[in-house]
Amino acid sequence: MTPWIPPTINLWEASISAKKDLVIEARNLTKVYKMGEVEVHALRGLSLEVQRGEVMSIMGPSGSGKSTLMNTLGCLDRPTSGEYYLDGESVAEMNDDQLADVRNRKVGFIFQTFNLLKRTSALANVELPLRYANRSENRGEIARQALEAVGLGDRLDHKPNELSGGQQQRVAIARALVNNPSFIMADEPTGNLDSKSGDEIMRMLLALNEERGVTLIIVTHDPEIAKRTRRVVTIRDGQIAEK
């Protein structure tokens, strides 16, 4: 089997000379899981670059390695081999606590199931990343501004079960934004919403990109969602599928 040479490798050389502002720079990522005796190759030498301010969607059938790529880019997991630079910082070799720190400062997560803390007010939910960042000064104020930015300035003290699905996802967006991350990783952000509020959430995410230049990566299997992003990356068998 001839080794697969990533087509971006020369582009990457060129990128340095072009001084592109890269948020994500992943080279030759592999990820191998052991399922009992069987080794599962979830990523097979995948390389990817994401520029600051880009809007990108990652698509792919289940089992394609899409989730593994998301977890790796989101610093939730380490690749088995390969290099990953996030804002120029090498992440692939970091220990658990360093990864936690990178997630806290540089990655804003948005989940399909919102993942808000029950019995905790919207404000406290949004404050959570600030707490883990050990930022005590006007934490409440920063969180309040983030909630106002997503149009929930009047719902600060509401608990998640007192909010609609769309509102809950907006709280999650505020939480993702509150630490000014390098990029937002949204995993099926509209998957649990009706089409109207799903559309609202998509528009809000795209607007954040337009107005604030927030880098956005959306993992989805919905082509309608993917169509609305400028760049679509399709994963198949742990590699980026040729267009």
What does the binding site for another protein look like in residue numbers (CB under 8 A)? 71, 74, 76-77, 96-97, 100-101, 103-105, 109, 111, 115, 117, 119-120, 128-129, 131-134, 136, 175, 179
Q: Which is nearer to another protein, 119 or 196 (CB)?
A: 119
Give the shortest CB-31-to-another protein separation in angstroms.
Answer: 11
CB 77 within 8 A of CB 30: no
Q: Which is nearer to another protein, 85 or 111 (CB)?
A: 111
**Maximum C-alpha span of the chain:** 60
Give the shortest CB-120-to-another protein separation in angstroms.
Answer: 8
Give the shortest CB-60-to-another protein separation in angstroms.
Answer: 17
Q: Which is nearer to another protein, 103 or 170 (CB)?
A: 103
Q: Which is nearer to another protein, 62 or 134 (CB)?
A: 134
Return the amino acid letter for 236: R
Q: Which of 109, 213, 219 is nearest to 169 (CA)?
A: 109
Q: Are strands 81-86 and 239-240 parallel, antiparallel or unpaired?
A: unpaired
Q: For residue 147, what are the β-bridge partners?
A: none
Give the shortest CB-68-to-another protein separation in angstroms.
Answer: 9
Would you state the structure tokens that stand for residue 76, as one six-digit string? Answer: 């939730």
Say how far apart CA 243 and CA 81 lie, in whole Å: 25
Q: Which is nearer to another protein, 121 or 229 (CB)?
A: 121
Give the shortest CB-66-to-another protein separation in angstroms.
Answer: 13
Q: What are phi and psi of 221, to 5 degrees?
A: -115, 10
CB 238 within 8 A of CB 46: yes
Would you state the structure tokens that stand for residue 32, as one six-digit string? Answer: 């191998």
